[in-house]
């Protein structure tokens, strides 16, 4: 069984355009960047959160705090996995109390990562509001969770795999569907 690239969904320009629109939507919905904080979910979400912060600075001339969140210890499949994943750093050095927090992830799929992220955030404080921004929404939710800001809606088969590659990880920048 070999995994190959079935379709190119977004290229470098496509990703950039989607993020620009999402940045505008975040500012529109929250009427500016006051009280706004961005938290990227390890690992892909962290790069995207940093990029959104740059875009918001370009649009609004405001510096928005950016943090990273690792949800490993909050996963609901730890007891059944063969081996444990290595946790990455959680780095939220600013106060999140009463802030408007935008969680950022590359792909939303079953919604279980977001559930874990929400639980984790509650252990750090109580934001006034939490919103979700994703580059790709591929459907197949197993929990009642939806994204507030979506770069690309992408209907997929649950057997396929969506891969977001970013230059920050070294290499190409694109979103592709992988399949057999």
Partner 1 sequence: MSLSTKDLLGIKSMTADEIKLILDTALTFKDVSERDIKKVPALRGKTVINLFYEASTRTRTSFELAGKRLSADVINISTSTSSVVKGETLLDTARNIEAMKCDMIIVRHSCSGAPEYLSKRLKSSVINAGDGFHEHPTQALLDMFTIREKLGKLEGLTVAIVGDIMHSRVARSNIYGLIAMGAKVRVCGPPTMIPPGLECMGAQVYYDMDKAVEGADVVMMLRLQLERQAAGLFPGVREYARLFGLNQQRLSGAAKHALVMHPGPMNRGVEISSEVADNTPVILEQVTNGVAVRMAVMFLLSGGTKAEA
Residues of this chain that bind partner 1 (CB under 8 A): 70, 72-75, 78-84, 86-90, 119-120, 123-125
Instruction: Pick the closer one to partner 1 by CB: 54 or 78.
Output: 78
Spatial contact of 127 and 103, defined as CB atoms under 8 Å apart? no
Instruction: Pick the closer one to partner 1 by CB: 74 or 149.
Output: 74
In the complex, least distance from residue 34 CB atom to partner 1, rounded to whole angstroms: 25
CB-neighbour burial class of residue 8 (10 A; exposed 0-12, middle 13-18, buried 19+): exposed
Spatial contact of 135 and 48, defined as CB atoms under 8 Å apart? yes
In the complex, least distance from residue 92 CB atom to partner 1, rounded to whole angstroms: 10
Instruction: Pick the closer one to partner 1 by CB: 57 or 75.
Output: 75
In the complex, least distance from residue 119 CB atom to partner 1, rounded to whole angstroms: 7
**Cα within 13 Å of Cα(74), Cβ side:** 19
Handedness of CA 139, 85, 96, 16 (dihedral sign): negative
Which residue is it, tokens 């210890």?
73
In the complex, least distance from residue 33 CB atom to partner 1, rounded to whole angstroms: 26
In the complex, least distance from residue 106 CB atom to partner 1, rounded to whole angstroms: 20
Instruction: Pick the closer one to partner 1 by CB: 55 or 115.
Output: 115
Residue ranges of E strands in the chain = 4-10, 36-41, 66-69, 100-108, 129-137, 149-153, 161-165, 174-179
Instruction: Pick the closer one to partner 1 by CB: 31 or 77.
Output: 77
Cβ atoms within 10 Å of 7's Cβ, excluding its own: 13
């Amino acid at each position: 069984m070999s995994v190959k690239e079935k379709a190119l969904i977004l290229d470098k320009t496509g990703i950039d355009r989607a993020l620009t629109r999402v940045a505008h939507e975040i500012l529109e919905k929250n009427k500016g960047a006051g009280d706004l904080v961005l938290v990227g979910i390890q690992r892909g979400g962290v790069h995207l959160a940093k990029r959104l912060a740059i875009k918001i600075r370009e649009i609004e001339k405001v510096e928005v705090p950016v943090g990273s969140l690792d949800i490993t210890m909050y996963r609901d499949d730890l007891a059944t996995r063969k081996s444990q994943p290595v946790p990455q750093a959680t780095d939220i050095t600013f106060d999140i109390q009463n802030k408007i927090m935008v969680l950022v992830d590359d792909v939303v799929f079953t919604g279980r990562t977001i559930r874990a992220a929400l639980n984790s955030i509650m252990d750090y404080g109580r934001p006034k509001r939490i919103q979700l921004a994703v580059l790709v929404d591929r459907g197949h939710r197993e929990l009642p969770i939806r994204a507030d800001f979506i770069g690309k809606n992408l209907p997929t088969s649950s057997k396929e795999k969506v891969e977001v590659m970013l230059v920050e990880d070294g290499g190409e920048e694109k979103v592709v569907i992988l399949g057999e």
